[in-house]
Amino acid sequence: MEEYSTYGLLGENISKSLSPQIYNAVFQELDIPAVYMPFSVSKDRFLTALPVLRSRFSGFNVTAPFRLDILAHLDKKDDSVKRAGTANVVNVEKEKLIGYNTDMVGFERSLIGFVGNMFDKEVLLIGAGGVAYSIANVLLEKGAFLTILSRNVSSAFKLQESLQKKFNKNRVKVMKGLSHSNEFFAVFNTAAVDLESKQSDIAIHSHTYQSFEYAYDVSYKPTAFLQKAEDFGVKTKNGLDMLLYQAIGSYEIWLGKDDRLDVALITKMFNQIKANVK
């Protein structure tokens, strides 16, 4: 009997994640003897999960809230982790955890054809969790002036401190809330909740919606935030492209470059995923 490799997603509240659907579809399409499964763990059980991942998994993705927590337990960090300051992919080699980051390249690729030159433009980043680190680094590398806004102010200042070690301090600031007069070229949301939902602690005023040209949400599902931005004539994009590019990067880390994973297959996967999301 052919031996199957096991891959998975480490996170909390991941029952609705598309990742198992994406990876298992790729494994099936390319006839790879592997299976991908969700590995849901509460914050207080994180440490007890690591021995299982080391001994029984060939690799795994890391999502909220563990992208930062995993760093202290990696046996080796790829340069992509050092660049981003966080890890979302782990390859397991002889029970050693090797960390990588595909959030940055996934986000960068998803921006192609969406937003133009951001050099010296004022952009707003909402949220200060693990994925915000990757997005913030990309935005600053592109020369933007970055404002961070998060309901967890201490996390926002921690992110700012991390970024200011690499970038001009004057290009990164933290705000505790938005006023009616705030204006931005683009807004990037990484918060777990929809900004226009009752659960959101962050309010974006109409004047601010009118000021920005681009709105991006890492959620791959439709959000009231993006819909409202569209109503104001803003160009919008969700995180589905980013998710897909992350998946391709993870596949190549675990299994190596594969010529079969070409543009035609990527397009096929993309269309299937979009249909399922709708």
Confidence band for 79, pLDDT divided at 50, 70 and 90 = very high
- pLDDT, one tens digit per residue, over 177-187 is 999 999 999 99
Kindly give the pairing relationship between strand 122-126 and strand 76-77.
unpaired
Let me know: does 130 contact 192? Beta carbons within 8 Å: no
- Residue 53's identity, in one-letter code, is L
- pLDDT, one tens digit per residue, over 206-259 is 999 999 999 999 998 889 999 999 999 999 999 988 998 998 999 999 999 888
Check whether 78 has a pLDDT greater than 80.
yes
Contacts of 4 by beta carbon, 8 Å cutoff, 6+ apart: 33, 34, 35
Please tell me the distance from the alpha carbon of residue 115 to that of residue 186, in angstroms, as a whole number: 9
Contacts of 123 by beta carbon, 8 Å cutoff, 6+ apart: 139, 144, 145, 146, 147, 184, 185, 186, 187, 188
Confidence band for 1, pLDDT divided at 50, 70 and 90 = very low
Check whether 131 has a pLDDT greater than 90.
yes
Average pLDDT over residues 149-163: 96
> Rounded to two decimals, what is the model's pTM?
0.92
Check whether 2 has a pLDDT greater than 70.
no
Cα-Cα-Cα-Cα torsion 249, 253, 254, 259, nearest 10 degrees, comes to 70
Mean pLDDT over each residue of the chain, to the nearest integer? 93
User: Nearest Cα to 152, choosing from 127, 123, 125?
Assistant: 127
Tokens representing 203 are: 């309010």
Let me know: does 244 contact 103? Beta carbons within 8 Å: no
- CB atoms under 10 Å from CB of 231, counted, come to 9
Give residue 8's pLDDT: 96
Please tell me the distance from the alpha carbon of residue 157 to that of residue 84, in angstroms, as a whole number: 16
- pLDDT, one tens digit per residue, over 20-74 is 988 998 899 899 999 999 999 999 999 999 999 999 999 999 999 999 999 999 9
Residue whose entry in the numeric block shows the structure tokens 């990527």: 266
Residue whose entry in the numeric block shows the structure tokens 């399922």: 276
- Burial class from Cβ neighbours inside 10 Å (0-12, 13-18, 19+) for residue 262 reads exposed
Region of poorest pLDDT, from 121-125, 139-143, 153-157, 196-200? 196-200
Let me know: does 19 contact 89? Beta carbons within 8 Å: no
The upper half-sphere exposure of residue 105, i.e. CA atoms within 13 Å in the direction of its Cβ, equals 17
Please tell me the distance from the alpha carbon of residue 161 to that of residue 143, in angstroms, as a whole number: 18
